[in-house]
Chain A
Amino acid sequence: VTATPEPAAVVAEQLARGEDPTLVEIPRKPFHSRAGTLLVYLALLGLAFLYFTPFIWSFLTSLKDLPETTGFDLWPDNPDLQAYREVLTDFNFARFAANSFGLAATIAFFDVFLSSLGGYAFARLQFPGREVLFILVLSTLMIPDQLRLVPVFQMLTSFPLIHYNFVGTYEGYVLIKLVSAANLFFMRQYFLTIPKDFEEAARLDGAGFFKTYLRVMLPLAAPAVAAVAILSFEGAWNDFFWALVILGFGNPDHYTLPLGIAQFKFQYQTLWPQLMAASILATLPIAIIYIIFQRFFVAGVVSAGVKG
C-alpha cells in the first residue's frame, strides 16, 4: 500500500505551484449514463440551494418593511434599502464596520509581520535552544481560550510593568490577537520550500538578516503571506469571543460588527429587517474576499490545520 503524504504539505506545494489547493484535477471515475449524470447535478444544485436559502431569505427580509416579515411572500412589496440606512446611521453600524475593518487590518498586518519574521528565524537561523523554543510556540496551539480568559482579562486590566488598563481599548484587542502560532508554523513550512541560493546571493551583495528577510524572502513567500493576511483578517473580522471579553464592557463606540449584531439582537429582538441587514453587512465583505482570493484562503484554512 502506498504511503499517504501529509495533506498540509501537499497544500503548501500546490500553493507554491500556483494551483488551487483542494481542487487540483485528479483522475476520477466518470458517471456512466446521461440520465444518471443529470440526476446527480439536480441533486447537487438542490443541496447548494438549500445551503444558500438562509442567506437568500435574510437578504430578502432586509429589503422588507417590518410588517411584511410576518408574512411569507418571497419578494418584498416595496424593496428598499431603508433597513440598511437605519442600521448604518441610527444604530451606529457604520462605526462598528469601520472598527471591524480597522482592527482586522491592523491585526492582519502584525500577524503577517510577526509570523513571517518568526517563521523565517525558525526556518533558517541557527541559535541555541531553537528546537525547544519552536516546540514551546507550537504548544500554545493546544491552549484553549477558556483557560486564558480570566488571566488575560486580569492581565489587561492592569498590564504588567506599565499598569495600564487595556480593557475596552482597541490596543488591548489588537494585543490579544497579535500573532498566531499556526500562521508562524505555516510561514516556516513555506520558507523551507524556498532554495537557499537566493539568500546566499543576497549575502554576497552584503545584505544582513533583516534586509534579506524583507527584500528577498518576503517577496518569494508572497502566496503564503497572502494566505496569512487573508486568514488573519477573516479571523479578526468574524471573532466574537475576544471582542466580547475585551471590548464588550467598554464604550459601545468601540464595538465590532459581531458585537453590534449581538447587542442589537438583545435590545430589539424582532426588528428583523434591520437585524438581517446588519448580518448581511457583516457577511458580504468576507464573501467577496473569499471569491477573489479563494486559492490563498483555502490554503490558509487547510494549513492552519497543523498538528499541535
Chain B
Amino acid sequence: MGVFLLLFIYPIGYGIYISFYDWGVLGSQGYVGLANYRELFDDEIFHRALKNTIVYTLGVVPAQMALGLFTALVVNAAIRGRTFFRAAFYFPSLTSSAAITAIAVFILSADGLLNAIVGGSRSWFGDSDTALYSIMALNAWTTSGTIMLFYLAGLQAIPTDVYEAAAIDSASRWRVFWKITFPLLKPSHFFVAVVSVIGALKVFDQAFIVSNGTGGPSYSTLTGVLYLYRTAFADIRFGYAAAIGVALFAIIFTITLVQRLLFGRPETA
C-alpha cells in the first residue's frame, strides 16, 4: 500500500504545493501564491491549447464510440470468423502510439499514400489547417478497437431471453437494435463515454510525435498536456507547469462529474 501512497497520493499534494511556487531547474525560487494561476487566465497559448483539446475531444469521442459500437455489433453478429474480425478491428489499438503515428506520418506526408489516392500534395500533419484533424482521425481509428471490446463485453452481458422474445415478435434487425440492444447497452455507453472523454482530454503522444514536440505548426497541434510538458521541460518552469496540471485535472474532474450527473449512475436498465 505504501507504493500507492508514494506514487499517487503523495504526488498530488506535492504537485499542488509546487504550483504555488516559482520553481525552476534548481528547485524552489520562492513562494508566489496564486500568481501561477492568475497567469493561466491571461495566457493565450494556454487558451489555444485548451481550445485544441476541446475540439479534439468533441470530434474524437463520438467518432470512436460510433466506430467501436459498429465493429462490436459486427463481431457479435451471427458470422463466421469472429475471432479474425475481432483481431482485425482491435489491431490498431494494440500498436504502440509511436509506431502507429510514424506510419500515419508516412502515409499522410506530402508524397505519401493518401495523396497518391486522393490526388494532391498537402502535408496533412504539416499544414496548420489539417494537422489537428489528421490527429483526430488517426486517434478515433486507433482507439475504436478498445471501445469495441468494452461494447462487446456489454453486448454479451445482455440476457439472451430478451432477444428470444424479440424473435417471437419477428421484429426487424434494425428495430431490435434501436428498441432493445441500444437501450440495454446504457451501462456500456456511460462507461465508454467517461473513459473516452478522459482519454481524449489527455491526448499527448501523437501530437508530440507529429510536431516533433513543438505543438506546431503555429500551435495547431498544441494540446493541454503537450503545453504542460513544454512548460516543464522546454521552458523549465515547473511551478507554472504544476499549475497547468492542477487546472487540467480540475477540468477533467468537473466534466466527469457533469457526465455522472447527466446520465446518472450506471444501473440496471
Whole-angstrom distance from the CB of A200 to the nearest CB of chain B? 26
Contact with B along A134-161 (1 / 0, CB 8 A): 0011001011111111111111000000
Contact with B along A13-34 (1 / 0, CB 8 A): 0100000111110111111000
Of A190-198, A206-214, A298-306, the one touching chain B: A298-306
Identify the closest chain A residue to B269 (Cβ).
Answer: A4
B184 at the interface (CB under 8 A from A): yes
A259 at the interface (CB under 8 A from B): yes
In the assembled complex, the Cα of A97 lies from the Cα of B117 at a distance in Å of 34
Flag if A258 contacts B198 (CB, 8 Å).
Answer: no
Cβ 8 A contact of B95, one of A2, A266, A272, A286:
A286
Instruction: Specify which chain B residues have a CB less than 8 angstroms from the CB of A204 in the assembled complex.
Output: none
Residue from B23, B176, B225 whose CB has the most chain A CB atoms within 10 Å: B225
Flag if B157 contacts A10 (CB, 8 Å).
Answer: yes
Of B37-45, B57-65, B78-86, the one touching chain A: B78-86
Whole-angstrom distance from the CB of B100 to the nearest CB of chain A? 8
In the assembled complex, the Cα of A202 lies from the Cα of B164 at a distance in Å of 46
Flag if A146 contacts B91 (CB, 8 Å).
Answer: no
Whole-angstrom distance from the CB of A249 to the nearest CB of chain B? 8
Flag if B107 contacts A149 (CB, 8 Å).
Answer: no
Cβ 8 A contact of B161, one of A2, A118, A237:
A2
Flag if B15 contacts A150 (CB, 8 Å).
Answer: yes
Residue from B96, B111, B154, B195 whose CB has the most chain A CB atoms within 10 Å: B96
Known: A7-B187, A40-B79, A147-B12. A275 touches B106 (CB 8 A): yes
Identify the closest chain A residue to B240 (Cβ).
Answer: A150
In the complex, chain A residues 242-268 whose Cβ is within 8 Å of any chain B Cβ: 244-245, 249, 257-259, 261-262, 265-266
Instruction: Specify which chain A residues have a CB less than 8 angstroms from the CB of B186 in the assembled complex.
Output: 4
Whole-angstrom distance from the CB of B123 to the nearest CB of chain A? 11
Identify the closest chain B residue to A9 (Cβ).
Answer: B157
Flag if B96 contacts A3 (CB, 8 Å).
Answer: no
Whole-angstrom distance from the CB of A82 to the nearest CB of chain B? 17
Flag if B252 contacts A144 (CB, 8 Å).
Answer: yes
Whole-angstrom distance from the CB of A127 to the nearest CB of chain B? 11
Known: A136-B4, A149-B241, A153-B232. A51 touches B91 (CB 8 A): yes
Whole-angstrom distance from the CB of B49 to the nearest CB of chain A? 12
Cβ 8 A contact of A7, one of B91, B103, B109, B150:
B150
Whole-angstrom distance from the CB of A29 to the nearest CB of chain B? 6
Known: A44-B79, A137-B1, A262-B209. A4 touches B268 (CB 8 A): yes
Whole-angstrom distance from the CB of A14 to the nearest CB of chain B? 8
Identify the closest chain B residue to A282 (Cβ).
Answer: B99
Interface size class on chain A is: 35 or more
Interface size class on chain B is: 35 or more
Contact with A along B109-135 (1 / 0, CB 8 A): 101010010000000000000000000
Flag if A301 contacts B149 (CB, 8 Å).
Answer: yes
Cβ 8 A contact of B98, one of A26, A47, A151, A257:
A257
Identify the closest chain A residue to B1 (Cβ).
Answer: A133
In the complex, chain B residues 65-113 whose Cβ is within 8 Å of any chain A Cβ: 74-79, 82-92, 94-100, 102-107, 109, 111, 113
Known: A51-B89, A149-B241. A58 touches B232 (CB 8 A): no
Identify the closest chain A residue to B28 (Cβ).
Answer: A154
Flag if B249 contacts A144 (CB, 8 Å).
Answer: yes
Flag if A302 contacts B150 (CB, 8 Å).
Answer: yes
Contact with A along B1-27 (1 / 0, CB 8 A): 101100111111011001000010000
In the assembled complex, the Cα of A46 lies from the Cα of B23 at a distance in Å of 55
In the assembled complex, the Cα of A234 lies from the Cα of B95 at a distance in Å of 9
Identify the closest chain B residue to A298 (Cβ).
Answer: B149
In the complex, chain B residues 142-201 whose Cβ is within 8 Å of any chain A Cβ: 146, 149-150, 152-154, 156-164, 167, 173, 176, 184, 186-188, 191, 195, 198, 201
Query: Assuming A7-B157, A291-B87, what are 12 further A-B pairs, CB within 8 angstroms?
Result: A4-B159, A47-B74, A55-B95, A142-B256, A143-B8, A145-B225, A153-B238, A154-B14, A241-B205, A270-B109, A275-B102, A276-B106
B residues within 8 Å of A by Cβ?
1, 3-4, 7-12, 14-15, 18, 23, 74-79, 82-92, 94-100, 102-107, 109, 111, 113, 116, 146, 149-150, 152-154, 156-164, 167, 173, 176, 184, 186-188, 191, 195, 198, 201-202, 204-205, 208-209, 212-213, 224-225, 228-229, 232-233, 238, 241-242, 244-246, 248-249, 252-253, 256, 266, 268-269
